[in-house]
Amino acid sequence: MPESFLSLATPGVQQLTPYQPGKPIETLERELGISDSIKLASNENPLGPSEAALNAIEKNARAIHFYPDGGGFKLSQRIADLHGINAACVTLGNGSNDILELATRAFLAPQHSAVYSEYSFAVYPITVQAVGAQANVAAALPASHASMPLGHDPEALLAAVDASTRIMFIANPNNPTGTWLEVEALHKLVSAVPEHVIVVLDLAYHEYMAAHLKIKIADWLQQFPNLIITCTFSKIYALAGLRIGYALSSPDIANILNRVRQPFNTNLLAQAAALASLDDHAHVENSVAMNNSGKNYLMQALDAAGLCYLPSMGNFIAINLKRDAQPVYEALLHKGVIVRPVASYKMPEYLRVTIGNEQQNQRFMTALLESLA
């Protein structure tokens, strides 16, 4: 037997640290012996899934002894109709995380590099390192920036591209900061990226953005053949537990992604629930309204408490405590409130809190102020 099985792993995997998700409610209550906890750590939709999605799950539950449609024909066609594109441009994924990994496996090798910004989603470095590629991390805008502290710096992103670069990841809005690029700035950035670089535009929180900040997806796909847009049903559609997302790209890129996509990567119930969710427009509108109301409440409460936070177009807010945030995070846990410390993003003074419903937001603020005191 080898001295260590880790020595048999590829060099990139040997250096990886597993992704740490938000602590589940069941785990917290088991560890601390408490009850009635709330979780505001993983940017889940507090409204829950659409009734139409739940009905679709119930209707299809007795068919789970069959394999799902491997290509997800009905869902792919409905997604294509939603965005005004051809179904050949759609690739389904086991959450949008799956799409990020498909793109990395398809276009990166050890001799290549990928570009992303400081304080970007943790899955980007994980997937890049796993395939042994180089990460060219662009400096974010400084914390002192007047309008978008810690936001993406387009000039720095472009400067990080070199001849070996094959992918640029751009999250808009970004997680965990919540910051964003205006449409004009984003368009200018993507236009300047060399054609040998695949731009992966992560729109996980796109539905929460103000209307004037949303891109015209069909137009962008037509204009940029090197573009992959990733979307998810985990956030606005509240199907995080079913793991379903998708990519939009040129048919040529979709063909490449499907070469590395695992058979049956999206399950039967997830496809059915996602398909039903797309037709429940009221649920989306109610989710956005709840998020906007909750965000306004939290910003006003944080302002009143003299606490700093980053501007956000997502369903979360990153709060700068101006001190080590870990003790405050742990104090909140003992009060049954789970948020997300982001020290792993090199933001040790911040806590990221998901915007919940009215009761959850009020409970969080009370617990936060008590913990700080």
Whole-Å CA distances, 63 to 57, 73, 78, 132, 180: 10, 17, 21, 40, 42
169-202 tens-digit pLDDT: 999 999 999 999 999 999 999 999 999 999 999 9
Q: List, in sequence order, every residue forming a beta bridge with 246; answer none if it has no partner.
A: 92, 231
In this predicted structure, the answer to whether residue 255 has a pLDDT above a threshold of 60 is: yes
* pLDDT score of 91: 98
Q: What 3-state DSSP class applies to 137?
A: strand
Please give the Cα distance from 223 to 220 (Å, whole number).
5
* pLDDT score of 13: 84
User: Do the beta carbons of residue 278 and residue 82 sit within 8 Å?
Assistant: yes
pLDDT, mean of residues 350-370: 98
* pLDDT score of 356: 98
Label residue 1 by pLDDT band (50, 70, 90).
low
In this predicted structure, the answer to whether residue 213 has a pLDDT above a threshold of 90 is: yes
Backbone angle region of 150, left / alpha / beta, with phi > 0 → left and psi within -120 to 50 → alpha: left
CATH of domain 52-277: 3.40.640.10
In this predicted structure, the answer to whether residue 22 has a pLDDT above a threshold of 60 is: yes
270-306 tens-digit pLDDT: 999 999 999 999 999 999 999 999 999 999 999 999 9
Please give the Cα distance from 22 to 48 (Å, whole number).
17
Please give the Cα distance from 356 to 334 (Å, whole number).
19
User: Do the beta carbons of residue 128 and residue 114 sit within 8 Å?
Assistant: yes
Q: What residue spans in the chain does CATH classification 3.40.640.10 cover? A: 52-277
Q: What residue spans in the chain does CATH classification 3.90.1150.10 cover? A: 5-48+282-372
* 87 DSSP assignment: G
- Which helix (H) or strand (E) covers residue 358, if one does? helix 358-372
33-48 tens-digit pLDDT: 999 999 999 999 999 9
Please give the Cα distance from 92 to 99 (Å, whole number).
8
> What is the CB neighbour count within 10 angstroms for residue 142?
10
CATH class of 5-48+282-372: alpha beta
* pLDDT score of 2: 66
